Structure 1
Amino acid sequence: MNINATLAASLDRQETPSPSDWETTFRQMMLFDLAADMELGFFLSYYRNFAIPSIAKTLHTNAEIQQRAMKRSYDTAIVIYELIACGLDSDRGRPMVELLNRVHRNVPGSKDDFLYVLLTLLVVPIRWIQQHAWRQPTKAELVAASRFFTELGTRMNITCVPATYEEAEAFFDNYETTHVAASPEGRHLMDATVQVFQDRLPAPLRPVAKQMISTMLDDDRLTHALGLPRAGRISRTALTTGLKLRNAITRRRPLKTKPHFTPGDAGSSLYPDGYSLNQIGPVNVPHSPAHAGNELP
């Protein structure tokens, strides 16, 4: 099979899908075509919340991140990937939506705070792709991604979710302009979670983990708020060069046939034998009895 034809065929499908197939379009983007970059974007969006003092204070008071940083990090990703891979209204998706609602039921915060947290998961990965991925997201992918988070927001009773990606970007930028600031709680949360990133790096790179995060965030205002070192010219050049090389290799390979995420599968030191849905989430937030038996197929 011709590799370029394979890439071209996938891109063509992502450019001209039926509007009703938005979940399939977003799933293909997330799990195949742009999987590695979407994962990096989600990773960066997680840290961004620590730069908002009101959100950082709430997270710090909860103490889940400080006490179980690795579980909180992995479980946050698993919930989102379960929803994308299986569907918002699927047998595995519904318990994840219910979990999100239970976790946030008594959490203090303004409606804009909740909306911002939701939109970090849309805007941050898309911007990373636009700047660094092997290809640009298609218009249909932007529509599909926006629709996914609009639908998720509706199920979480978050109001006034922007209808388009452009509107989401505008809200995101305006919110950060007025809310990003340093706080003791935010910097403490950042320090508590750096180790999760370090554990995924080769040993020689672990001492420069904070520098790497700062370089990927590429935002001096944000890195100052998080207490990270300022990204230097050398680290920026290294990142750009490394990503260009990776992208050149990606364009010469066929797209993977195995999805980036498989529900319930092993794939981390936290769940080396796989997981069931009732293992996901804070230990002090019980799962609904109706779904306590959701085990791996």
Structure 2
Amino acid sequence: MNINATLAASLDRQETPSPSDWEATFRQMVLFDLAADMELGFFLSYYRNFATPDIAKTLHTNAEIQQRPMKRSYDTAIVIYELIACGLDSDRGRPMVELLNRVHRNVPGSKDDFLYVLLTLLVVPIRWIQQHAWRQPTKAELVAASRFFTELGIRMSVTGMPATYEEAEAFFDSYEAAHVAPSPEGQQLMGATVQVFQDRLPKVLRPLAKRIISTMLDDGRLTDALGLPRSGRISRAALKTGLTMRNAITRRRPLKTKPHFIPGDAGSSLYPGGYSLDQIGPVNVPHSPAHAGNELP
């Protein structure tokens, strides 16, 4: 099969799946078709929480991010990718849901705070894809992504989950309009986590990490709240040019046969030999004895 046919076949599958295959549809989107852009979107959603003073204060008081910024960042991503790759109710997914519930059990916050944090993982990556990816998300992908986070919210007892992606966007925008503001805690958290992004950049670009994040966020109110420099015309043009070139190359290549994430695999300096489920999560939150030592294949 030629390259174009491969891309066309993948897109066709993502446009016409059965509604009951929502987990598989979302998995294909995140791990194959739009993998690089979903990863960037998840990164940006992580930073976004620091721009809300109440959420930032809670995270700052916990001190996990300041003390172990690399572990907190990577573990957050691993939990989400484990759930997507393996399934919410799989043998590997259930311990991750249990971990999320233990971590958040005594965390202060309103119903809307918890809902917003969950919906950043839906809305922020989707919007990044709509603006910057090599193709637009399909309607079926939007439905599948929304269903995934609705089901995750149900398992975490998060109430008021939107019924559609459009409703999720409306809540997300309304919440940010009312809550995004500068805070010392939020800016300290942002400063602590910049190094995680720096480590993923070529050395020549590492001094520009804050400006690159600001350019990707592309929201003056948000970058002001996070204490980041405002992005300029040149940096925005550079990002657009770089992504345009990348997208042109992507369209001419076959989709990768290896998924973007392999559960338990070595994929970072934090876990160079791979990881087991009991290694994931804050060090001060004990894991369930039933899953301690649950080695990943």
TM-score range, shorter chain: over 0.9
Alignment partner, residue 184 of structure 2: 184
SS of residue paired to 1:293: coil
Deviation for aligned residue 1:40? 0.1
Indicate yes or no: 2:234 matched with 1:228: no
2:47 corresponding residue in structure 1:
47
Find out whether 1:253 has 2:253 as its counterpart. Answer: yes
2:62 is equivalent to residue 62 of structure 1: yes
**What SS is found at the alignment partner of 2:163?**
coil
For normalisation by structure 2, the TM-score amounts to 1.00
The one-letter amino acid of 1:85's match is A
Aligned to 1:93: 93
Partner of 2:274: 274
Q: Distance in 2 between matches of 1:210 and 1:277?
A: 32
2: CA distance, partners of 1:199 / 1:252: 29
Which residue is 2:26 aligned to? 26
What is the CA deviation profile of residues 78-121 of structure 1, one whole-angstrom value per residue up to 9, with x for unaligned ones? 00000000000000000000000000000000000000000000
CA distance in 2, matches of 1:160, 1:190: 29
Rounded to whole Å, the distance in 2 between the matches of 1:93 and 1:191 is: 31
Partner of 1:212: 212
Shift of 1:293: 2.7
Distance 2:236 2:273 in 1: 37
Alpha-carbon distance between aligned partners in 1 of 2:52 and 2:196, rounded to the nearest angstrom: 21
TM-score where L is the length of structure 1: 1.00
Aligned residue for 1:283?
283
- Whole-angstrom distance in 2 between the partners of 1:210 and 1:265: 29
SS at match of 2:255: coil
- Identity across aligned pairs (percent)? 89
1:12 aligns with 2:12: yes
Cα distance in 2 for residues equivalent to 1:92 and 1:64: 24
Gaps of 5+ in 2: none
In 2, distance between residues paired with 1:170 and 1:146? 13
Alignment-mate amino acid for residue 174 of structure 2 = N
- Equivalent-residue separation in structure 2 for 1:293 and 1:62 (angstroms): 25
> For residues 46-105 of structure 1, what are the alpha-carbon distances to aligned partners after superposition, in whole Å with 9 as ceiling and x for unaligned?
000000000000000000000000000000000000000000000000000000000000
Cα distance in 2 for partners of 1:75, 1:222 equals 24
> Which amino acid is 2:183 matched to?
S
Partner Cα separation in structure 2 for residue 268 and residue 245 of structure 1: 27
Q: One-letter code of the match for 1:19?
A: P
Return 5+ residue gaps in structure 1 as ranges: none
Give me the whole-angstrom Cα distance separating, in 2, the residues matched to 1:35 and 1:237: 23
